[in-house]
A and B are shown apart, each in its own frame.
Chain A
Amino acid sequence: DGGITQSPKYLFRKEGQNVTLSCEQNLNHDAMYWYRQDPGQGLRLIYYSQIVNDFQKGDIAEGYSVSREKKESFPLTVTSAQKNPTAFYLCASSIDAGWNEKLFFGSGTQLSVL
């Protein structure tokens, strides 16, 4: 089945630790995105990538980093510089970065701080 796979489902971070969230898609989509969701708030864009080996900062990129070495993969690293990392993280993809394309989302990763 085609889709987006995020792992792990739950992740715990210790203070000062970097953690990496995985996102893989087999939809052959060019564009991929990372959003952060906090209770009672809308999804906020962290980073997006329109093509392999290229990515752009979203609205809340500070404390996060990404890479796009393969079309299928767009991992997100939450660094120790992100002081409030507890949130639900969603990865998404679209056929391309055209402004009228719908997004396909993964099932999310809940990150908590120990």
Chain B
Amino acid sequence: SQKIEQNSEALNIQEGKTATLTCNYTNYSPAYLQWYRQDPGRGPVFLLLIRENEKEKRKERLKVTFDTTLKQSLFHITASQPADSATYLCALDMSGNQGGKLIFGQGTELSVKP
């Protein structure tokens, strides 16, 4: 079955640096991959979606890459700020033709220190 692995250890970085989070998956490559942000006690909030034929996607200070050969997605936050501190989840589609069934990684907790 498809498995997703994200950095299990929390990532601590200094304000202004670039944070890089990893999402690895096994088995078949999904048609698309999504990243979400989750704050404590809150529901996840959608950030970015990248399709298998897109190598890179950007939104303001966020950048996502998708390497189907390595079976990996990287999520970058440039010029990080303390307000970026949260848990970041990646999610993959289970099957392109059945719709809506995303499987989520366990998330990586990011802490940005001033």
B79-104 at interface with A (beta carbon < 8 Å): 89, 91, 93, 95-104
Q: How far is the CA of A50 from the CA of B89 in the complex (A)?
A: 23
A49 to B21, CA, bound (A): 32
Asked whether B46 lies within 8 Å of A104 as measured between CB atoms, the reply is yes
Tell whether B114 is near chain A: CB-to-CB under 8 Å: no
Interface residues of A in 67-89 (CB under 8 A from B): none
Say whether B4 contacts A42, CB under 8 Å.
yes
Total interface residues in chain B, CB < 8 Å? 30
A108-B42 contact in complex given A41-B106, A98-B100, A101-B100, C-beta closer than 8 Å: yes
Q: Specify which chain B residues have a CB less than 8 angstroms from the CB of A96 in the assembled complex.
A: 99-100
| Nearest CB in chain A: distance from B77 CB, A | 19
Give every chain A residue within 8 A of B101 (Cβ-Cβ).
45, 48, 58
Cα–Cα distance between A94 and B51 once the two chains are bound (Å)? 18
Alpha-carbon distance between A105 and B43 when the two chains are bound, in angstroms: 5
Write the residues of chain A forming the contact surface with B, with a CB cutoff of 8 angstroms. 4, 6, 31, 33, 35, 40-45, 48, 50, 58, 90, 92, 94, 96-108, 110
Q: Which 9 residue pairs spanning A and B have beta carbons closest together?
A: A105-B43, A97-B99, A42-B104, A97-B100, A43-B104, A102-B46, A42-B106, A99-B96, A99-B93
